């Protein structure tokens, strides 16, 4: 069975702190893709990153970085020097071969306080 676990339901930090959102996935497939989406209060899911199972290189995009470790089945997301605009619900998701659907985690609600 495929499953994505985001154990942190809510995180609250003060602006400019670094924060890491955890994502652990389960799948028996060797080929799969992992995604992160951001959902601000307006409701739209905004695509952040896609990573395939054969590429374990970490990625950095501005203040955002992602750490993919197959050994621990984790795909964690770090925001450096957080800002109030980063406040949102963040979803990690898994896509597997043969399926046309995403398996979402339960989401982590991140609040950045000024």
Partner 1 sequence: DTEVTQTPKHLVMGMTNKKSLKCEQHMGHRAMYWYKQKAKKPPELMFVYSYEKLSINESVPSRFSPECPNSSLLNLHLHALQPEDSALYLCASSPSRGSISDTQYFGPGTRLTVL
Q: What angle do CA 110, 112, 114 make, to 5 degrees?
A: 165
Q: Which of residues 7-66 bind partner 1 (CB under 8 A)?
A: 31-33, 35, 37, 42-47, 50, 52
Helix or strand run (H / E) with residue 46: strand 46-52
Size of the site for partner 1 (CB under 8 A): 26
Cβ 2 to partner 1 shortest distance, Å: 12
Q: Is the CB of 51 or the CB of 76 nearer to partner 1? A: 51
- Dist. CA 87–CA 109, nearest whole Å: 8
Cβ 75 to partner 1 shortest distance, Å: 15
From residue 74 to residue 103, what is the string marking binding to partner 1 with x (rule CB under 8 A)? Answer: -----------------x---xxxxxxxx-
Q: Is the CB of 16 or the CB of 52 nearer to partner 1? A: 52
- Dist. CA 93–CA 103, nearest whole Å: 5
Which candidate, 114, 113, 92, 98, places its Cα nearest to that of 24? 92
């Amino acid at each position: 069975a495929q499953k994505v676990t985001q154990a942190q339901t809510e995180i609250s930090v003060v602006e400019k702190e670094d924060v890491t959102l955890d994502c652990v996935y389960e799948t028996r497939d060797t080929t799969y893709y992992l995604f992160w989406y951001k959902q601000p209060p307006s409701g739209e899911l905004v695509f952040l990153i896609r990573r395939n199972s054969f590429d374990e290189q970490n990625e950095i995009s501005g203040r955002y970085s992602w750490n993919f470790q197959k050994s621990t089945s984790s795909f964690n997301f770090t925001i450096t020097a957080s800002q109030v605009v980063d406040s949102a619900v963040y979803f990690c998701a898994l896509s597997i071969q043969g399926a046309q659907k995403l398996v979402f985690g339960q989401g982590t609600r991140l609040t950045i306080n000024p």
